[in-house]
């Protein structure tokens, strides 16, 4: 086929019609992709449940994760953690258990007896926070070091296998750690505009 | 008013309040499914958490102290008052702005309970409120929490029962009802807390209580709350084959409770630390008290535990350096609580009281003797004749005291088997000395929530379903009159007490019209001295006492009547009778009834003014 780049086509033939259709298709798909990514980006801050106004009165509830489904990869696969709930929990640990004080302190110069006394405060307070705000249960209730069998299609996000992983499930192995799972989280509600970044206010006695 | 869906019980406590409720349609006989309301409240500035209890505290914050946006409630962007957990927390660091024990002030006859006096002894600029106002604020919070959870069944339309100590005087009862009415809870009825505890026991036995008590028995209810100890005696009789319960006696108002025990332990530890050369600051003593509460519960419930470590952290951010360390041992708890509050005493022992400096004091009349067993001895001895009028109870000749055959304990402190057993041992020791059979403990009561649960159940009983404890007023009431005798310079004429309301007036009934008349000046407040007796069961309306043993009659706050009428000119003297009746909700009402024409004026309890004028005999 001879190529003459100086000649303009005189009629809108089949080849050009096909080219135009392809260009339109590409344009549309670009717009669609852009829309999806913009939407996904905008949804992130809205996903913070506890920053929402006081009209949300039911405590946030974490449901047990559903089994992983195999889906085609999507443009956004990594979730960003929401800071407010984390700050709130840290604030509770500090308030009840002096958790931040303890972690920020240099313990190398203190004897075990002094550290032990401080740990009582931290342990008792943290325990209270866990009891009040989280419902915890072990993932596996069998005694640790007992032999258990994992059926085919077990939830790999809740049970981590290691060691000699070969063949097909069911797998039989030793339960090393029973795991923990949160079945319900009920954090206190926050006033609109409450600054959760202040984990503990400075205290001034007049 | 639409048909109520719930029976709601409010335990409006000295240190915290609880709301229990039972859905009426799910209730069948003596088996009711009781629930406890989650009460949203500020747990720290800007943070709202849910708790089963609302601490009965109110905090008068300084305007610069908190960010305005931090004071919100789910139902109110600008709550009028800070109550509950946040009030308790802020107040523990700034006591001058904290209102606590409003309930004890409500029953303090020595002050004007409608006047803004709380918090006492704080600087001028702190806004003061009355005990009535504080109680109203707690009730308002509870009402709003309820309405938020049940928007289609507002609290004002439900059956509502509020508990009060059995020893609450008529004025305190009326003020409690007034607080409820002020926020639209017009239907609220009152129930005595020891009775409520017994109702809770009946309800939780699911009908089995009939096998546990027999006619002729007397149940002693000992209710030790956070701030008060309340005693009641309930006799079991039989009528037409059915068991009936009769509340036959109540004890004095004893301001002594679980908080005193925590304080006692903390003071013991402070002495121990001081002996080691450590000086404690006030905030450390407070933290120590707090730590002692948890340690006490651990030691009293776990019999194997010998020692619980107590640590008080420093207030600065350095946690490890400044920790104050000590431990609470089983022996210390035994000595401080068992021997301090429930010592072995003989029946003849009486609580120690010191003469007070007049009736009007600006402080709560705390019990001066912490020995609950001594208070109990006094109560049982004084009430020896409590069952005298009931069928099936023999005469009490030769008996030193009233013999209870069963004991129902209430209050968190009795989670400890040690305290419960000691109380029973002491009582059985007295019984044995009087040749009576030992009393037994009634089991199955929920020690923390029984009062509010019983109140919710009582709402259901009020509808005529289930057994009702009878009793009526547990005291006879008298007004003071000057006896007519020639004037003696320098001596006030002797006072006589005229009975206007006999013992045991039931709800919804009225006493007889007394024959005695008073001349009351129209248009001016006229005061009468007012007395009550929890032991004089045989006085009838019109009985005049010119003498009584010191411990039989107690003076209450004065009562007042103002005759304002179009039919009389100001300054006229109108002869009136004083008539008493008990309302359906359980408050005593006094009325001045004109001898001619039958006009009625309400007589107010608990009023205090300087232009006093005592009623004169007509």
Mean pLDDT of A58-77: 53
Residue B280 covered by a domain: yes
Mean pLDDT lowest for which of B130-144, B317-331, B347-361?
A: B347-361
Strands (E), B172-253: 189-192, 218-224, 229-239, 242-250
Mean pLDDT of A3-26: 72
pLDDT at B548: 85
Between B534 and A63, the more confident residue is B534
Q: Mutating which of B67, B319, B322, B326 best tests the A interface, going by the most A Cβ atoms within 10 A?
A: B319
Contacts of B71 in chain A (CB under 8 A): 191
- Whether residue B69 and residue A193 make contact (CB cut-off 8 A), yes or no, is yes
Do A147 and A124 belong to one domain?
no
| pLDDT tens-digit readout, B166-193 | 989 899 999 999 999 999 998 899 999 9
Question: Is the per-residue pLDDT at B139 higher than 80?
Answer: yes
Do A147 and A129 belong to one domain?
no
| pLDDT tens-digit readout, B194-222 | 999 999 998 888 778 888 888 888 999 99
| pLDDT tens-digit readout, B10-51 | 999 988 899 999 888 765 555 667 889 999 999 988 889 999
Q: Give the count of beta carbons closer than 10 Å to the beta carbon of residue B425.
A: 13
Between B406 and B398, the more confident residue is B406
Residue B537 covered by a domain: yes
B71 to chain A: closest CA residue = A191
Do B530 and B400 belong to one domain?
no
Do B457 and B496 belong to one domain?
no
pLDDT at A73: 56
- Whether residue A194 and residue B70 make contact (CB cut-off 8 A), yes or no, is yes
Do B536 and B408 belong to one domain?
no
Of A59, A115, A203, the CB nearest to B320: A115
Number of residues written out for chain B = 618
Question: Is the per-residue pLDDT at A10 higher than 80?
Answer: no
Question: Is the per-residue pLDDT at A49 higher than 70?
Answer: no
Domain that holds residue B267: 258-341
**What is the DSSP secondary structure assignment for residue A66, as one 8-state letter?**
P
**Cβ atoms of B263 and B291 closer than 8 Å:** no
Mean pLDDT of B438-457: 85
pLDDT at B613: 38
Question: Is the per-residue pLDDT at B444 higher than 80?
Answer: no
Domain that holds residue A89: 79-133+187-193
Residue A53 covered by a domain: no
Residue A111 covered by a domain: yes
Question: Is the per-residue pLDDT at B145 higher than 60?
Answer: yes
| pLDDT tens-digit readout, B471-491 | 888 889 998 887 666 666 777
Of A59, A95, A121, the CB nearest to B311: A121
pLDDT at B618: 33
Tokens 């400890």 belong to: B416
**Cβ atoms of B197 and B455 closer than 8 Å:** no
Q: What angle do CA B576, B577, B579 make, to 5 degrees?
A: 135
Do B449 and B503 belong to one domain?
no
Question: Is the per-residue pLDDT at A64 higher than 60?
Answer: no
Question: Is the per-residue pLDDT at A59 higher than 80?
Answer: no
- Whether residue A190 and residue B48 make contact (CB cut-off 8 A), yes or no, is yes
Do B215 and B291 belong to one domain?
no
Mean pLDDT of B327-351: 89
Q: Look at chain B and report how many structural domains it folds into.
A: 4
The reply to whether A118 touches chain B by the CB within 8 Å rule is yes
Question: What is the Cα–Cα distance from B155 to B188, expressed in whole angstroms?
Answer: 10
Question: Is the per-residue pLDDT at A60 higher than 70?
Answer: no
A120 to chain B: closest CA residue = B311
Question: What is the Cα–Cα distance from B257 to B89, expressed in whole angstroms?
Answer: 21
- Whether residue A188 and residue B43 make contact (CB cut-off 8 A), yes or no, is yes
What ipTM was reported for this prediction? 0.72
* B493: closest CA of chain A, how far (Å): 55
Do B462 and B606 belong to one domain?
no
Contacts of A111 in chain B (CB under 8 A): none
Question: Is the per-residue pLDDT at B530 higher than 60?
Answer: yes
Residue B419 covered by a domain: yes
Contacts of B318 in chain A (CB under 8 A): 101, 105
Residue B215: CATH number of its domain: 3.30.420.40
Residue B202 covered by a domain: no
Residue A200 covered by a domain: no
- Whether residue A118 and residue B46 make contact (CB cut-off 8 A), yes or no, is no
Residue A57 covered by a domain: no
pLDDT at A127: 93
pLDDT at B3: 73
pLDDT at B282: 82
Residue B281 covered by a domain: yes
Do B219 and B298 belong to one domain?
no
pLDDT at A45: 41
Go through B402-420 and write b for each residue having 16 or more CB atoms within 10 A of its CB, e for each that does not. bbbbbbbbbbbbbebebbb
- Whether residue A114 and residue B320 make contact (CB cut-off 8 A), yes or no, is yes
Residue B521 covered by a domain: yes
Max mean pLDDT range (B90-104, B437-451, B586-600) = B90-104
Between B465 and B381, the more confident residue is B381
- Work out the pLDDT band at A52, boundaries 50, 70, 90: very low
Contacts of B320 in chain A (CB under 8 A): 102, 105, 107, 110, 114-115, 117-118
Do B31 and B147 belong to one domain?
yes
Question: Is the per-residue pLDDT at B426 higher than 90?
Answer: yes
**What is the DSSP secondary structure assignment for residue B23, as one 8-state letter?**
E
Question: What is the Cα–Cα distance from B28 to B5, expressed in whole angstroms?
Answer: 14
Question: What is the Cα–Cα distance from A87 to A96, expressed in whole angstroms?
Answer: 14
Residue B1 covered by a domain: no
- Whether residue A121 and residue B323 make contact (CB cut-off 8 A), yes or no, is yes
Average pLDDT value over all residues in chain A: 78
Between A32 and B532, the more confident residue is B532
- Percentage of chain B modeled with pLDDT above 90: 29
Residue A3 covered by a domain: no
- Work out the pLDDT band at B319, boundaries 50, 70, 90: confident
Q: Which two tokens stand for residue B404?
A: 């209870």
- Work out the pLDDT band at A190, boundaries 50, 70, 90: confident
Do B489 and B562 belong to one domain?
yes
Question: What is the Cα–Cα distance from B334 to B342, expressed in whole angstroms?
Answer: 10
- Work out the pLDDT band at B558, boundaries 50, 70, 90: confident
Average pLDDT value over all residues in chain B: 85
- Percentage of chain A modeled with pLDDT above 90: 33
- Whether residue A57 and residue B148 make contact (CB cut-off 8 A), yes or no, is yes
Do B563 and B594 belong to one domain?
yes
Q: Look at chain A and report how many structural domains it folds into.
A: 3
Beta-bridged to residue B82, according to DSSP, are: B59
**Cβ atoms of B558 and B575 closer than 8 Å:** no
Do B252 and B337 belong to one domain?
no
Mean pLDDT of A105-113: 87
Do B141 and B213 belong to one domain?
no
Number of residues written out for chain A = 206
Please list the alpha-helical segments (H only) found in B438-540. Answer: 450-461
pLDDT at B485: 64
- Work out the pLDDT band at B362, boundaries 50, 70, 90: low
- Whether residue A117 and residue B74 make contact (CB cut-off 8 A), yes or no, is no
- Work out the pLDDT band at A143, boundaries 50, 70, 90: very high
């Amino acid at each position: 086929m001879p190529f003459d780049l100086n000649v303009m086509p005189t009629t809108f033939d089949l080849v050009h019609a096909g080219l135009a259709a392809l260009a339109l298709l590409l344009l549309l798909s670009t717009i669609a992709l852009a829309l999806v990514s913009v939407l996904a980006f905008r949804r992130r801050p809205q996903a913070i449940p506890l920053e929402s106004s006081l009209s949300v009165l039911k405590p946030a509830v974490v449901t047990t994760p559903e089994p992983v489904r195999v889906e085609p990869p999507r443009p956004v696969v990594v979730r960003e953690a929401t800071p407010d709930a984390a700050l709130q929990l840290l604030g509770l640990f500090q308030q009840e258990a002096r958790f931040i004080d303890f972690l920020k302190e240099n313990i190398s110069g203190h004897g075990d007896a002094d550290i032990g006394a401080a740990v009582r405060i931290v342990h008792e307070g943290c325990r209270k926070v866990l009891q009040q705000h989280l419902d915890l249960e072990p993932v596996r209730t069998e005694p640790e070091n007992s032999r258990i069998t994992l059926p085919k299609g077990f939830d790999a996000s809740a049970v981590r296998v290691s060691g000699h992983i070969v063949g097909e499930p069911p797998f039989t192995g030793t339960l090393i750690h029973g795991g923990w799972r949160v079945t319900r989280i009920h954090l206190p509600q926050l006033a609109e505009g409450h600054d959760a970044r202040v984990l503990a206010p400075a205290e001034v006695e007049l | 008013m639409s048909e109520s869906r719930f029976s709601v019980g409010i335990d409006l406590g000295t240190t915290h309040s609880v709301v229990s409720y039972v859905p009426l349609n799910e209730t069948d006989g003596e088996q009711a499914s009781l629930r406890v309301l989650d009460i949203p409240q500020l747990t720290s500035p800007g943070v709202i958490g849910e708790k089963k209890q609302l601490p009965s505290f109110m905090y008068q914050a300084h305007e610069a102290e908190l960010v305005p946006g931090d004071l919100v409630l789910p139902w109110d962007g600008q709550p009028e008052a800070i109550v509950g957990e946040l009030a308790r927390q802020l107040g523990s660091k700034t006591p001058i702005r904290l209102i606590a024990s409003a309930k004890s002030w409500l029953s303090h006859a020595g002050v004007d309970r409608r006047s803004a006096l709380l918090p006492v002894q704080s600087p001028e600029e702190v806004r003061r409120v009355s005990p009535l106002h504080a109680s109203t604020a707690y009730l308002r919070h509870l009402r709003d929490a309820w309405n938020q959870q049940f928007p289609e069944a507002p609290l004002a339309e439900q059956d509502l029962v509020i508990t009060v100590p059995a020893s609450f005087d008529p004025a305190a009862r009326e003020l409690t009802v007034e607080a409820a009415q002020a926020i639209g809870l017009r239907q609220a009825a009152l129930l005595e807390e020891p009775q409520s505890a017994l109702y809770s026991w009946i309800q939780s036995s699911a009908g089995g209580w009939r096998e546990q008590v027999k006619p002729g028995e007397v149940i002693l209810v000992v209710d030790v709350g956070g701030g008060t100890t309340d005693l009641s005696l309930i006799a079991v009789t039989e009528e037409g084959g059915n068991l009936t319960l009769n509340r036959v006696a109540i004890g004095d108002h004893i301001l002594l409770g679980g908080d005193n025990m925590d304080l006692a332990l903390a003071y013991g530890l402070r002495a121990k630390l001081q002996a080691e050369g450590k000086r404690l600051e006030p905030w450390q003593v407070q933290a120590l008290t707090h730590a002692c509460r948890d340690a006490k519960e651990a030691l009293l419930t776990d019999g194997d535990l010998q020692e619980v470590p107590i640590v008080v952290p420093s207030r600065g951010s350095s946690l490890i350096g400044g920790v104050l360390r000590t431990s609470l041992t089983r022996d210390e708890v035994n000595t401080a609580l068992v021997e301090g509050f429930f010592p072995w005493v003989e029946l003849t022992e009486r609580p120690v009281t010191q003469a007070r400096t007049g009736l009007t004091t600006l402080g709560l009349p705390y019990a001066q003797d912490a020995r609950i067993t001594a208070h109990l001895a006094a109560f049982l001895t004084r009430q020896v004749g409590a069952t005298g009028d009931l069928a099936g109870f023999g005469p009490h000749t030769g008996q030193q005291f009233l013999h209870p055959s069963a004991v129902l304990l209430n209050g968190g402190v009795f989670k400890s088997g040690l305290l419960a057993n000691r109380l029973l041992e002491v009582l059985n020791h007295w019984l044995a000395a009087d040749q009576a059979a030992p009393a037994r403990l009634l089991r199955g009561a929920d020690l923390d929530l029984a009062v509010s649960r019983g109140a919710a159940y009582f709402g259901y009983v009020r509808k005529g379903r289930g057994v009702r404890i009878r009793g009526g007023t547990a005291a006879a009431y008298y007004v003071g009159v000057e006896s007519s005798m020639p004037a003696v310079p320098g001596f006030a004429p002797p006072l006589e007490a005229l009975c206007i309301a006999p013992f045991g007036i039931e709800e919804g009934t009225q006493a007889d019209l007394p024959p005695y008349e008073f001349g009351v000046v129209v248009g001016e407040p006229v005061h009468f001295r007012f007395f009550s007796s929890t032991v004089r069961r045989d006085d009838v309306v019109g009985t005049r006492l010119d003498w009584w043993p010191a411990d039989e009659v107690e003076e209450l706050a004065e009562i007042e009547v103002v005759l304002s009428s179009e039919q009389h000119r100001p300054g006229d003297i109108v002869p009136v009778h004083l008539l008493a009746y008990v309302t359906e909700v359980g408050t005593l009402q006094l009325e001045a009834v004109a001898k001619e024409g039958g006009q009625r004026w309400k007589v107010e309890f608990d009023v205090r003014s300087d232009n006093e004028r005592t009623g004169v005999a007509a």
